[in-house]
A and B are shown apart, each in its own frame.
Chain A
C-alpha cells in the first residue's frame, strides 16, 4: 500500500486543519486572500465583489461539520480512514489513500480545483495541483502548512504548461482529476497509465425552466435569483445559467418575463459590476443584440440589453442557434412543454450540469434528468452547489480511496 505524507495523521486532525485554514480565508481582509483576490481579478477580469462572493461561498462552507458529513456519507465513518472498521452486514474494511493525486485545472473560474484537492487530502493522498496564474491553491496550501506540518509534503501547487520541462509526469499519479474541454480531457486521458483512476470534468452548461404555473408574484420572487445565476462569473461557469425555457400558457408572456428579468439583471449588476469584457466579446454581444433588434423589428422575438452591450436577453431567438456563451447573455426560449426544451438541448448537443426550476413538477424533473443534468435546484441556487452534495455527478471523496477488506 502506498505510504503518503498524511498516512499516519488521524483524519479528524486533517479535517480540523482544513477547516481552520478555511476559516481564516473566510475573512475578506485576511492578507493572503486579499492578495489572491487581486490576482484572480487580474486573471479573469471579474469585479472584486464577484471574486469576494465566490471566495466567501467557497470558504464559508468549508467547515469541519460539512467535511465530516461528506466523509461519513460516502465512506461510512471517519474512523474508516484511520483503521479497519466494522460495518453493518459488511466485512471489516479500511479506506486507504488511493496514492498520488494530480488535479489539473486548465479551464476553471474561481477555486473549482480546490475541493477535489482538499477531499483527496482528507483521504490522506499526496496531492499535486496544476494551479492557475492566480496561484489561489498555492496560497491556500500555505495556510494549510501553518496548520499541520505534514501538509508541506502532502500538498503542492504550481503552475505549469503541458510539455514544460518541469511539468510533472502524469504517469506517476494514481489518480488524475482534470477540468477542461473534451479535447483537452481526451488528450490527458490518452497519456495515462491503464490503471490510473481518471476523473475528468468536462465543460458543461446549465439551463432553467419557467413553468406556466408561475404567476406575476412568483416571477418577481424568482428573477433576482435567476439574474444572479446568469451574471455570476460572467456566464463562464458550468453552473451559470446559459439558456432559459419559458413555458407558454401562463400568466405572463415571455417578453414580459424577459423585461422583468432584465430589470433584475441591471439591479444585480450594481452588486456585481460586469467584468472588463474582452473586445471580441463586446463586439459579439453588440452584434447579436442588434441582430435580435432587427429580428424584433420584423415581428419575431425581442431583445433586452443596454447600449454598452453589458448584458443581453434574447426572447425567442432562432431555435437553430445554440446559446451564445457570452457574458451575461442568454436566450429565453418559449416552449409548449418539456419536450420542446429537450429537443432544443439535444439538438444542440448541450451537456448540462445544473437545471433550475421554479416549481416542482414531475415532467420538469424528468426533463432535467433526461437532459443529463447532474443537479436540480431552484433559481438563485444554481451557482451554489452544497459542499455536502456530489460534484459533477460524482462523489467528493470516494474516488480518492482504495478499499481493503479484512475477512475471517
Chain B
C-alpha cells in the first residue's frame, strides 16, 4: 500500500524491525527488507539515484532481498545517505577514514532502533549465560572524547545497560593508559567482579606488549570475557588472531571460548559476533548475525557466490531503516551453509609484488 506520510511509514517500519529485534526472529525477512528498501527509494535521494543506474526504481523493484542494490560503504563519504534531513539526525557516526583519508558519515534518524539492535546483539553473543553484571574495562574510543565513534557509543550503551556502573576507558587516541588499566584490573579482582574487556585488536596488541614488558598477568574472576573488535588496518603491526587470543587468554586467565570477536561497521546498525562453539575444520571461527542482519558473499559482478567461495561481503541490515538497508564492503569472507560467515578480514591485503608504490606505503608516508 503506498504511503504519503513519511513519518507514519518510518514509524511503522521501525516498529516492525524493533519487534523482530525484541523477539529475536524475523518471520518475513524478505518482505520487510523490500519494504524498507522501497521506503529508501522514495526518501533517500542519493541512494535512489544510484539504484536507478542499476535499473532499479519505484517502477522496477526487486523481488528478493538479495537483489537490493548494495551501496558501497565508500559512498557514505560522498553523500548524506539517509531518508530524512541529516541536520535532524539523532545519531551521527563517522568512519575513521583509514582507507583514503576522508571519513564518511552515517546518519541515523533515531537512537531507539540502533540501541535495541546493538544491545540485543551484544547480549546474545556475550552475556546470555551470565546472571550478574560485568565490569566493563574499555580499550575503545571514549565517546566523551570521540562522540563520532560508533564503537565508543556502542560500548557506552552496553556498559550503561549491562554493566556494574563502574566502567572505565583507557584509550585516548592511540595512547593507552596502561597504569590506569592495571589499577582497574586489580580493583576488579579485589572486588570479586567479573570483567568484560573490550578493545580493538591493535589496542590489545599494544596492551599485551606493555604487560609483557612489565611481567604482568592477571587472574580475572570466572565469568570474565573479552570482546575484540578488529582494527589493524593502517597500523604498523598486525598479529594473527590465534596468536592474539592465546596471548590474551594467558595474560588474563580467560578461556579462549570467552574471547569473542565482534565485526561491525560504522555504516551498519547491527553487528556480527563469533559463535565461539562454531569453528570450521581448521579451527576458524564462524561469525553469526542476529536474525535482522543477513550477509551475502558476492563476486565482482555483484552476484551471490555459493557457500565456501571467497568473495566480498554485502550486509543487509534491517536496522538501517533510515539510511541504506544494503551495504557493500571490500571485506572478504566466505558464507557457511548455516548462514554464518568466515571473515577473512579487511587486513587481508594483496601481496605486494612489483616495484610500484602502493596504497599502504602512501598512507605511511602521508601519516609522517
Write 26 A-B pairs (CB below 8 A) sorted by A numbering.
A43-B353, A107-B352, A107-B353, A109-B354, A183-B364, A203-B355, A203-B361, A234-B354, A236-B354, A237-B355, A238-B355, A240-B356, A242-B357, A278-B350, A283-B330, A283-B332, A290-B302, A290-B328, A297-B52, A298-B49, A308-B301, A309-B300, A320-B102, A322-B359, A325-B356, A348-B362
Interface segment, B25-33, B74-82, B188-196, B280-288? B74-82
List chain A residues, Cβ under 8 A from B354: 107-109, 233-238, 240
A242 to chain B, nearest CB (A): 7
Q: Which residue in B49, B312, B349, B366 is a CB contact (below 8 Å) of A297?
A: B49
For B54, give the chain A residue with the smallest CB separation: A293
**Among candidates A181, A236, A282, A295, residue contacting B300 with C-beta atoms closer than 8 Å:** A282
Q: Does B348 contact A (CB under 8 A)?
A: yes
CA distance A325 to B366 in the complex (A): 16
Query: A184-210: which residues lie under 8 A (CB-CB) from chain B?
Result: 201, 203-205
- Looking at B46, B100, B101, the one whose CB has the most chain A CB atoms below 10 A away is B100
Interface membership of B265, Cβ < 8 A: no
Q: How would residues 295 to 336 of chain A score, 1 for a CB under 8 Å from any chain B CB and 0 otherwise?
A: 111101000000111000000001011101100000000000
- Measured between beta carbons, the chain B residues less than 8 angstroms from A108 are 354-355
B52/A324 in contact, CB under 8 A:
no
A325 touches which one: B72, B328, B357 (CB < 8 A)?
B357
Q: Residue A287 at the B interface, CB < 8 A?
A: yes
A297 touches B330 (CB 8 A): no
The reply to whether A288 and B350 contact each other, CB–CB distance below 8 Å, is no
In the complex, what residues of A have CB within 8 A of residue B49's CB? Answer: 297-298
Q: Which 9 A-B pairs have the closest CB atoms?
A: A236-B354, A291-B74, A309-B300, A283-B312, A286-B300, A291-B72, A294-B75, A238-B355, A307-B301
* A325, B358: Cβ atoms closer than 8 Å: yes
Q: From residue B367, how far is it (CB to closest CB) to chain A in Å?
A: 10
Contact A322 B52 (CB under 8 A): no
CB distance from A98 to the nearest CB of B (A): 23
Binary interface encoding of chain A residues 10-41 relative to chain B, with 1 for a CB under 8 A from any of its CBs, else 0: 00000000000000000000000000000000
Q: In the bound complex, what is the Cα–Cα distance between A286 and B302 (angstroms)?
A: 9
In-complex Cβ contact of A278 among B53, B300, B351, B361 (8 A): B351
Contact partners of B73 in chain A: CB under 8 A? 287
Q: Are B357 and A351 in contact (CB under 8 A)?
A: yes
A369 contacts the other chain (CB 8 A): no
Q: Does B13 contact A (CB under 8 A)?
A: no
Which chain A residues in 241-282 approach chain B with CB under 8 Å? 242, 278-282
- The reply to whether A109 and B359 form a contact with Cβ atoms under 8 Å apart is no
A203–B361 alpha-carbon span in the complex (Å): 9
- Are A280 and B100 touching (Cβ within 8 A)? no
Shortest Cβ gap from A137 to chain B (Å): 15
Task: Name the A residues within 8 Å of B128 (CB-CB).
Answer: none
A107, B355: Cβ atoms under 8 Å?
A: yes
A325→B102 contact, CB < 8 A = no
Cβ A322 vs Cβ B300 within 8 A: no
Which residues between 342 and 399 of chain A lie within 8 Å of chain B, taking CB atoms?
A: 348-351
Nearest CB of chain B from residue A204's CB, rounded to whole Å:
6
Complex CA gap A107/B358 in Å reads 12
How far is B73's CA from A291's CA once the two chains are assembled, in angstroms?
8
Q: Does B277 contact A (CB under 8 A)?
A: no
Q: With the chains together, A44 CA to B352 CA distance in Å?
A: 10
Q: Shortest beta-carbon distance, B115 to chain A, in Å?
A: 29
**B3: min CB distance to chain A, Å:** 25
Q: A282 vs B300: C-alpha distance in the bound complex, in angstroms? A: 7
* B310 partner residues in chain A, CB cutoff 8 A: 279
Cβ contact of B366, chosen from A237, A280, A296, A349, cutoff 8 A: A349
Q: Which residues of B contact A242 (CB under 8 A)?
A: 356-357
B230 contacts across to A, CB distance below 8 A: none
Is the CB of B121 closer than 8 A to any CB of chain A?
Answer: no
Chain A residues near B356: list those with CB within 8 A: 203-205, 235-238, 240, 242, 325
**Proximity string of chain A (91-102) to chain B, C-beta cutoff 8 Å, 1 when within and 0 when not:** 000000000000
How close is A322's CB to chain B, nearest CB, in angstroms? 5
Q: Tell me which of B71, B300, B362, B365 has the highest count of chain A C-beta atoms within 10 A of its own C-beta.
A: B300
Chain B residue at minimal CB-CB distance from A299? B49
Please give, as numbers and ranges, the residues of chain A lying within 8 Å of B329 by CB-CB distance: 287
Asked if A112 contacts B361 (CB within 8 A), the reply is no
With an 8 A cutoff between CB atoms, is B311 at the interface?
Answer: yes
Give the Cβ gap from B299 to chain A, nearest Cβ, in Å.
8
B263 beta carbon closer than 8 Å to chain A: no
Are A287's CB and B72's CB within 8 A?
Answer: yes
| A141 at the binding interface (Cβ < 8 Å) | no
Q: Out of A181, A201, A240, A324, which one reaches B359, CB within 8 Å?
A: A324
Q: How far is the CA of A108 from the CA of B348 in the complex (A)?
A: 21
**What is the distance, in angstroms, from A297's C-beta to the closest C-beta of chain B?**
4
Chain A CB within 8 A of B65 CB: no
A280 to B79, CA, bound (A): 26
With both chains docked as a complex, state the minimum distance between the C-beta of B364 and any C-beta of chain A, in angstroms. Answer: 8
Is A179 among interface residues, defined by CB-CB distance under 8 A?
Answer: yes
Q: In the complex, which residues of chain B have a beta carbon less than 8 angstroms from the beta carbon of A295?
A: 75, 78
- Contact flags A44-62 to B (C-beta < 8 A → 1, else 0): 1000000000000000000
The answer to the question of B50 belonging to the interface, with a C-beta cut-off of 8 Å to chain A, is yes
- Whether the pair B311, A283 counts as a contact (CB closer than 8 A) is yes
Additional 5 contacts, C-beta under 8 A, given A107-B355, A283-B311, A290-B72? A201-B355, A280-B349, A293-B53, A297-B53, A349-B366
Given the interface pairs A287-B328, A291-B75, A309-B300, the reply to whether A44 lies near B357 with Cβ below 8 Å is: no
